Structure 1
């Protein structure tokens, strides 16, 4: 009987071991939280607890997670192929229309981790950023409770004027404000504005979230981010823009 050379034996043993262990390496670990993330030209929607309607809520361009916990992201695409990438937390994952891809991320410390669409998806591909914000568990739980709450009715005259402007300019046909514009089976496709003031950035990471940038983006969204699906509103006066920004800043 011919003898097998030692390298063949060793390599065969390693192959068997590799095939045996491959399944456990590829298996998704059990997550502590699942978030549905939907990519659109050119922004990201994050829906928490989608499978529990009473506790579900939606935010945009920020994904908050508890530090030190595994989080499964179910990735959806609304229009074209995108790619989800947070370099400091995970590798790239394609986001494909008609398909749900799963990615598990974990931040071992609290912090802010910038993400980016890594697949060319149209004119504003470079301005399709998002932020993963990892928080200590207690802070994350408090944020979750805040996000579940509906929008608070404006208490000031300028805030009430801003809400009237939001309604009269048909903004609520594209944007939801829970407690103000609830529609069963809501078909709207713009970012949810219920707690917009709690976010750090606007327009897919393009602008920092402050009053001046709110007014700038509303008045000239096509100048700031050409080709996005929100029209500019140059017809609004400075006073109207101030009132509208005042209302939005109250949505925390």
Structure 2
């Protein structure tokens, strides 16, 4: 009985949150949610109808039950009703699918998302080659965006349930997804195609904000990283170079332009580390650098716990945290 009482609460819990298609934050997700509720409601109504007919067949007087054996009743209930109902749902769902792919603006904001094992590279080509981040997609509210989805290794799939449906990311191909975010908020996305050992830990945040805040964020992404003046941060930057981090990571405004790992130019401003695995602050930065393979085994980041002493590790984490 306790489990039965909890079922309505579980159902309601699925309708809200930062990762559900039933709490739409955009036009595409709203269409998908409406279609979902139509299917849920239609399925529930048909279930009730079938149960009522079953009760009629079992409990009604014999004279009434006899009507269910007639040819007209069988043709109406067993052939005409499902054909008409399913055909109507098919036509409606095809209309929703068409509306999801039709462009609404001639020049949407283009955002390139490149999936890698096991993180996301995000580029804003309309703003220039320097507008690059990782594991976080920033979006302006009220403006149509076009995600250009590709993969650098195996098949992945991107899904931001509050904004749109699932879209595969296939090596050698660019798939496109358009939508307009209608509400601000912080939403969670996830890889939904098994892509290897750490597929389950390949998430990201989609941050929808006001246009002015988005433009200010985008301008910071393009700007070179300033030289540190604090001795502790100077030490951290020096350790970054001596440890060879620049061979894999880029930091705008420096000679380090590696492309194997995420761009770290503004890593301190991101909400998470390791593709949604950790909250982003100095302690988790140090922990990730020291033991990346303990936190997320099989990813491409080596562990530096033995290569760096504690003081250098904390200085490096402090400099990365300051990159905002």
TM-score (norm 2): 0.68
Q: 1:219 Cα deviation (Å)?
A: 0.2
Q: 1:51 Cα deviation (Å)?
A: 5.3
Report Cα offsets for 1:198-245 as digits up to 9, x if no partner: 101000000000111000000000000000001000121110111101
Q: Identify the residue that residue 285 of structure 2 maps to in structure 1.
A: 214
Question: Which of residues 80, 98, 116 is equivalent to 1:40?
Answer: 116
Distance in 1, matches of 2:268 and 2:98, equals 43
Runs of 5+ consecutive residues of structure 2 not aligned to the other structure: 1-79, 81-87
Q: 1:23 Cα deviation (Å)?
A: 10
Is contact 2:110–2:126 with CA below 8 Å preserved after alignment?
Answer: no
Distance in 2, matches of 1:209 and 1:23, equals 38
Runs of 5+ consecutive residues of structure 1 not aligned to the other structure: 1-6, 8-13
Distance in 2, matches of 1:157 and 1:118, equals 44
Distance in 1, matches of 2:263 and 2:255, equals 11
Query: 5 Å matches for 1:88-107?
Result: 88-107=162-181
Is contact 2:249–2:256 with CA below 8 Å preserved after alignment?
Answer: no
1:204 matched to 2:280: no
Is contact 2:155–2:195 with CA below 8 Å preserved after alignment?
Answer: yes
Q: Identify the residue that residue 59 of structure 2 maps to in structure 1.
A: none
**Matched residue pairs, number?**
232
Is contact 2:154–2:170 with CA below 8 Å preserved after alignment?
Answer: yes
Question: Which of residues 91, 97, 104 is equivalent to 1:29?
Answer: 104
Q: 1:53 Cα deviation (Å)?
A: 3.6
Question: Which of residues 133, 151, 155 is equivalent to 1:59?
Answer: 133
Q: Identify the residue that residue 171 of structure 1 maps to in structure 2.
A: 245
Question: Equivalent residue of 2:250, what SS?
Answer: coil
Is contact 2:248–2:259 with CA below 8 Å preserved after alignment?
Answer: yes
Greater per-residue strand proportion: 1
TM-score (norm 1): 0.86
Question: Equivalent residue of 1:212, what SS?
Answer: helix
Q: Identify the residue that residue 10 of structure 1 maps to in structure 2.
A: none
1:241 matched to 2:316: no
Distance in 1, matches of 2:302 and 2:202, equals 18
Distance in 1, matches of 2:235 and 2:292, equals 21
**Which of the pair has more CA radius of gyration?**
2
Change beyond 3 A, Cα 1:177–1:139 = same
Distance in 2, matches of 1:168 and 1:247, equals 14
Report Cα offsets for 1:60-89 as digits up to 9, x if no partner: 011000012111000010000000000111
The Cα RMSD (Å) is: 2.1
Is contact 2:157–2:191 with CA below 8 Å preserved after alignment?
Answer: yes
Distance in 2, matches of 1:166 and 1:90, equals 38
Which aligned segments of 4 or more residues in structure 1 are displaced greater than 6 angstroms?
21-24
